[in-house]
Amino acid sequence: MKKSTSNKWSCAVVDDDATMVTVLENYISQISKLKLVGSYTDPKEALNKLGQGQEVDFLFLDIKMEISGLDMARMLRNKINHIIFITAYKQFALEAFQVHCDHYLVKPVDFSKFLSAINDVVKRKRRQEILTAGFESKETY
């Protein structure tokens, strides 16, 4: 996971519920290592902007919208390092992990659950980097 030049992880929010977008923006503002680069209540606008913009470290994404969050994840996977679904629907969890999401939260989401999800993703990524570095440093004969 690359941090931007400001040493913060870039993140974006997509949820058709403006109140939820505001809540997530507030949570993000409380985490010094995160930098909000976009928040959207219109999934079409989000797909357009995120699909053409620079790579984003974290995408916080609802599922039940005009364009399904699952479909958005499939379309944006190569532009997003980590996808965390935040939705009111438990039944989409399996499909969410099939599109390689990194975490799945069921609304309502309080700050501690939000922060815990981010920490889980970061810890997993760091462990993976440590393991990968160990294999890359071995000489092959």
**pLDDT (mean) for 4-33:** 93
Instruction: Kindly state whether residue 124 falls inside one of the protein's structural domains.
Output: yes
Instruction: Kindly state whether residue 141 falls inside one of the protein's structural domains.
Output: no
Instruction: Kindly report the CATH number assigned to the domain that includes residue 75.
Output: 3.40.50.2300
When pLDDT is cut at 50, 70 and 90, the band that residue 141 belongs to is very low
Tens of pLDDT, residues 113-134 = 999 999 999 998 888 777 777 6
Instruction: Kindly state whether residue 45 falls inside one of the protein's structural domains.
Output: yes
Give the SS3 label for residue 79: coil
Q: Is the pLDDT of residue 5 over 70?
A: no
Structure tokens at 18: 């403006």
Instruction: Kindly state whether residue 101 falls inside one of the protein's structural domains.
Output: yes
Q: Strand pairing of 9-14 and 56-61?
A: parallel
Whole-structure pTM value = 0.86
Task: Provide the residue range defining the domain that includes 47.
Answer: 9-136
